[in-house]
Amino acid sequence: MKQAFLVFLGGGIGSVLRFLISKPLNPLFHNFFFGTFLVNIIGCLLIGLFLGLSAKGNVLSHNNTLFLATGFCGGFTTFSAFAFEKHTYLKNGELLNLAIYMISSIGIGVLAVILGLWIARHIH
């Protein structure tokens, strides 16, 4: 039960933080959901860092990993918003924006996870 509460608490904090970042940033760039993009990339970096630190065995406990990676990152990042925004591009016939956003989100997201793992490996 404690572990479920940690995931719940982390997810709530992540969700609120995502809202506070995405809401003001999404309208900044015409036809580019910058806030969602930013939280997803930051979330990829953080989950790589958290899971990398967890793999070290003595940096993050299992409960800390549940709170940070499963809860916080799960609530902070948002695949559902990502998918809806892609639908918006399709509906508006903005295929170039769709391709740029999808490729950059996935590509930079994977690179951010790798960077987070690399950082975790080099923390002493």
Alpha-carbon dihedral 28, 83, 90, 104, rounded to 10 degrees: 60
Residues ≥6 apart with Cβ < 8 Å to 7: 66, 67, 70, 71, 74
74 annotated as belonging to a binding site for a ligand? yes
* CA distance linking residue 18 with residue 82, whole number of Å: 13
Evaluate whether 44 touches 77 at the Cβ level (below 8 Å). yes
Evaluate whether 90 touches 102 at the Cβ level (below 8 Å). no
121 Cα distance to chain centroid: 20
77 annotated as belonging to a binding site for a ligand? yes
Task: Cite the annotated binding site by residue number.
Answer: 74, 77
Task: Cite the annotated binding site for Na(+) by residue number.
Answer: 74, 77
